[in-house]
């Protein structure tokens, strides 16, 4: 059987997929991460055939906020889970088609899912991947994939604490001996930070800005912790009083304050996780500290905020946007790892 399977493997390219709320990444066996695109789909609503896809990924994201009645740009994943099943499936089919080069065999697919999603939600992911062309689907938990991707010693008796700040959720987990000792997820992530920025600018300046602009403000001047250097950026949007387009300058301090409440929630979740773990593991965290990953780990000075709040060593993963895909890819390359961590 093994020789046969190995022979078949020559013709197939198995995939590991990080199906994220903000970004989807695909790792191809033997090749590495070859696709990274926003989880956005643009749909032509005028087309009589149902759900006719106009664009997927970066191209669709460019349309966010620029659409009209006939076109809709959708983010089918919300809070880490599938919000729109059909669109998620179409998106997966598109990404699988783009990365799977063999026509004879369907790929085996690993999908990383948030820990703590319900059985119904897991089944939905499994079904979406199957219907999008997978021959077999394995699910692994995102924090485990992230920890493996960040090169943490997950198989050892050690406290591997990982905090993954994604688009829709923040997942906090402590892993030891290849298992998740404790995990907690909050539905606060980069999207909520963008919303907080929009809301603040609307209230303070009577200026309505789009999701893409809010995200840009966050990336360019957003920070989690005060700094001596205050930066400013000009934002444009629609004035709610005059109903005319307008520009205002905002600074990094006010933006930081607008995000503070959500950052506090993330910090509290981390603290609660630490309180819940057994004493030996807690003791080990004092030396090993916490690894931050996910796109939110790129927020400026998040490390400083976490360090001050937890008094623990804080490390930011090398490539925060890719750790889950890289870790899932390692499981794809090694059946031993996969057998250890695949979930039902
Ligand atoms: P998901 O796994 O949920 O798809 P990602 O790990 O891909 O999420 O992270 C996406 C989030 O990271 C988005 O909310 C994005 O705005 C945020 N992000 C990306 N780069 C930065 C940055 N430089 N500063 C702050 N946030 C960032
Ligand atoms: Mg993620």
Question: Smallest Cα–Cα separation from 295: which of 223, 189, 183?
Answer: 189
Q: Which helix (H) or strand (E) holds 213?
A: helix 211-221
CB 321 less than 6 A from any atom of ligand 1: yes
Specify the 3-state DSSP secondary structure of 196: helix
* Nearest CA owner, ligand 1 atom 14: 190
Question: Smallest Cα–Cα separation from 78: which of 182, 164, 190?
Answer: 190
**Whole-number pLDDT of residue 219:** 98
* Nearest CA owner, ligand 1 atom 20: 295
Predicted confidence (pLDDT) at residue 68 exceeds the cutoff of 90: no
Ligand nearest to the CA of 114: 2
> 326 CA distance to ligand 1 centroid (A)?
16
Instruction: Summarize the confidence of residues 264-270 as an average pLDDT.
Output: 97
Check if the beta carbon of residue 92 is closer than 8 Å to that of residue 120: no
Strands 23-28 and 15-19: antiparallel
pLDDT band at 14 (very low <50, low <70, confident <90, very high): very high
> 336 CA distance to ligand 1 centroid (A)?
31
> 166 CA distance to ligand 1 centroid (A)?
6
pLDDT by residue (tens digit) across 318-337? 999 999 999 999 999 998 88
Check if the beta carbon of residue 183 is closer than 8 Å to that of residue 160: no
Beta strands in the chain (DSSP E): 15-19, 23-28, 32-38, 41-44, 52-56, 71-74, 77-78, 81-82, 108-113, 136-141, 160-165, 170-176, 179-186, 207-208, 232-239, 245-251, 290-293, 314-316
* Ligand 1 mutation target, pool 25, 295, 323, 324, most atoms within 8 A of CB: 295
CB 218 less than 6 A from any atom of ligand 1: yes
**Residue showing tokens 């198995």:** 14
Ligand nearest to the CA of 193: 1
CB 149 less than 6 A from any atom of ligand 1: no
CA–CA separation, 96 and 58 (whole Å): 16
CB 219 less than 6 A from any atom of ligand 1: yes
Specify the 3-state DSSP secondary structure of 103: coil
**Whole-number pLDDT of residue 92:** 92
> 180 CA distance to ligand 1 centroid (A)?
24
Check if the beta carbon of residue 323 is closer than 8 Å to that of residue 16: no
Measured in whole angstroms, the distance separating CA 68 from the mean position of its chain's CA atoms is 28
CA–CA separation, 210 and 215 (whole Å): 9
CB 20 less than 6 A from any atom of ligand 1: yes
**Whole-number pLDDT of residue 10:** 58
**Whole-number pLDDT of residue 101:** 73
Predicted confidence (pLDDT) at residue 8 exceeds the cutoff of 60: no
Question: Which residues, 6+ apart, have CB-to-CB distance to 306 below 8 Å?
Answer: 163, 267, 270, 290, 292, 312, 314
Ordered strands of the 170-176 beta sheet? 179-186, 170-176, 160-165, 290-293, 314-316
* Ligand 1 mutation target, pool 35, 143, 149, 190, most atoms within 8 A of CB: 190
CA–CA separation, 231 and 137 (whole Å): 47
pLDDT by residue (tens digit) across 178-222? 999 999 999 999 999 999 999 999 999 999 999 999 999 999 999
CB 168 less than 6 A from any atom of ligand 1: yes
Specify the 3-state DSSP secondary structure of 99: helix
Q: pTM for this one?
A: 0.93
Predicted confidence (pLDDT) at residue 238 exceeds the cutoff of 70: yes
Predicted confidence (pLDDT) at residue 50 exceeds the cutoff of 80: no
* Nearest CA owner, ligand 1 atom 17: 295
Strands 81-82 and 170-176: unpaired
> 194 CA distance to ligand 1 centroid (A)?
10
Ligand nearest to the CA of 168: 1
Query: Which burial class, exposed, middle or buried, applies to 188 when counting CB atoms under 10 A from its CB (0-12, 13-18, 19+)?
Result: buried
More confident residue, 302 or 53: 302
**Residue showing tokens 């709320």:** 21
């Amino acid at each position: 059987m093994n020789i046969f399977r190995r022979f078949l493997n020559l013709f197939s390219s198995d995939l590991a997929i990080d199906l994220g709320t903000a970004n989807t990444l695909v790792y191809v066996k033997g090749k590495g991460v070859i696709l990274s695109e926003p989880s956005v789909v643009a749909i032509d609503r005028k087309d009589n055939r149902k759900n006719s896809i106009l664009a997927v990924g970066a191209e669709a994201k460019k349309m966010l906020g620029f659409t009209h009645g006939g076109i809709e740009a959708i983010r089918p994943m919300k809070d880490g889970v599938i919000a729109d099943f059909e669109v998620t499936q179409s998106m997966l089919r598109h990404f699988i088609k783009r990365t799977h080069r063999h026509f004879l065999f369907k790929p085996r697919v690993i999908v990383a899912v948030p820990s703590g999603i319900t059985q119904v939600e897991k089944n939905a992911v499994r079904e979406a991947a199957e219907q999008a062309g997978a021959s077999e689907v394995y699910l692994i938990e995102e924090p485990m994939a992230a920890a493996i991707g960040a090169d943490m010693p997950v198989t050892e008796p050690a406290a591997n604490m990982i905090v993954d700040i994604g688009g829709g959720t923040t997942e906090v987990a402590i892993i030891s001996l290849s298992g998740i000792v404790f995990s907690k997820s909050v539905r606060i992530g980069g999207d909520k930070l963008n919303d907080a920025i929009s809301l603040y600018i609307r209230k303070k300046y009577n200026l309505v800005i789009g999701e893409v602009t809010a995200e840009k403000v966050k990336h360019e001047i957003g920070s989690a912790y005060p700094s001596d250097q205050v930066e400013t950026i000009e934002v444009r949007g629609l004035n709610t009083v005059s109903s005319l387009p307008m520009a205002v300058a905002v600074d990094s301090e006010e933006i930081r304050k607008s995000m503070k409440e959500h950052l506090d929630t993330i910090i509290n979740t981390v603290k609660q996780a630490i309180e819940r773990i057994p004493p030996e593991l807690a003791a080990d965290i004092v030396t090993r500290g916490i690894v931050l990953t996910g796109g939110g780990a790129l927020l400026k000075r998040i490390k400083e905020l976490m360090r001050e709040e937890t008094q623990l060593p804080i490390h930011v993963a090398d490539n925060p946007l890719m750790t889950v895909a890289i870790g899932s890819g390692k499981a794809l390359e090694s059946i031993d790892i996969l057998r250890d961590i695949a979930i039902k």
